[in-house]
């Protein structure tokens, strides 16, 4: 599965739903990207990874919480709006 293509598809879906999105496609380790997102105050992080995509899922994390939530791709807009 093409992770980048799926991430771009999710990005477009969220934008269409009126959700402001920062797409971090830099060639950096995930930890660097996560730290930067926290520093600029992104309220929700969507992590698109191969392991979860195989099952049609993505990982969501609220900046104010310690745990992650795995959600189905088909319900990502709804899940983010509820956060």
- pLDDT of 1 > 80? The answer is no
Q: Are 43 and 9 in contact (CB under 8 A)?
A: no
Model confidence pLDDT, tens digit, residues 30-65: 999 999 999 999 999 999 999 999 999 999 999 999
**Predicted pLDDT of residue 61:** 95
Model confidence pLDDT, tens digit, residues 5-39: 999 999 999 999 999 999 999 999 999 999 999 99
Buried b (16+ CB within 10 A) or exposed e, 45-68: bbebeeebbeeebbebbeeeeeee
**Predicted pLDDT of residue 28:** 95
Structural domains of the chain, ranges and CATH numbers in brackets: 3-82 (3.40.50.800)
Structure tokens at 53: 């995509």
């Amino acid at each position: 599965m093409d992770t980048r293509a799926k991430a771009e598809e999710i990005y477009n879906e969220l934008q269409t739903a009126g959700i402001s999105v920062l797409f971090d496609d830099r060639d950096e380790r995930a930890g660097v990207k996560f730290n930067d997102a926290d520093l600029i105050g992104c309220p929700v992080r969507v992590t698109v990874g191969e392991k979860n995509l195989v099952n049609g899922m993505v990982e969501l994390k609220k900046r104010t919480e310690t745990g992650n939530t795995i959600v189905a791709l088909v319900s990502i807009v709804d899940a983010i709006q509820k956060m």
